[in-house]
Amino acid sequence: MLYDPRLVQPMRDELTRLGVRELRTSGDVDEVLDAEGDTLVVVNSVCGCAARNARPAVALAMRHEVQPDRVVTVFAGQDAEATARARHYFAGVRPSSPSIALLSGGELQFMLERHQIEGREAYQIAADITKAYDEFCATS
């Protein structure tokens, strides 16, 4: 069952106003994630216990000196096709929302699953993201 679009719009807006691109179809996902370069993928969610800090963590990470080429998002429970396709790229990782993945040329380099987000402050989650940027994006 999909969430009411009116319910999720503020959660979408929290990322898109930062310049994060929404991917709404499997074609959108393949086009972006198969491209050269580094892509941060945020699996957005209505989960108040984890997503409420995941989105601000992404905002904090976007201030870091080192950045991926793209930051994109799919919305679990809303854009089912796009979310399922994005999770296809997260080989070996169980579906989790929210989650945050860093891919290079379509290959998973780093993943934060819900259990690694839940119960942590945004600045702690952002520190994990920026550490991954330093490790995987600094040379690209």
Select which of 18, 49, 93, 138 is catalytic.
Answer: 49
User: Are the C-beta atoms of residues 24 and 84 closer than 8 Å to each other?
Assistant: no
Known catalytic residue at 137 = no
Select which of 15, 23, 47, 122 is catalytic.
Answer: 47
Which residues, including other chains, have CB under 8 Å from residue 17's CB and lie 6 or more apart? none
pLDDT tens figures, 69-108: 999 999 998 999 999 999 999 999 999 999 999 999 999 9
Specify the pLDDT at position 140.
Answer: 47
User: Are the C-beta atoms of residues 44 and 56 closer than 8 Å to each other?
Assistant: no
Per-residue pLDDT band for 2 (boundaries 50, 70, 90) equals confident
Assigned CATH for 5-134: 3.40.30.10
Q: Count Cβ atoms within 10 A of the Cβ of residue 68 and give its class: 0-12 exposed, 13-18 middle, 19 or more buried.
A: buried
Q: Is the pLDDT of residue 22 over 90?
A: yes
Kindly list the domain boundaries of the chain, sorted by start residue. Answer: 5-134
Q: Tell me the pTM.
A: 0.94
Per-residue pLDDT band for 47 (boundaries 50, 70, 90) equals confident
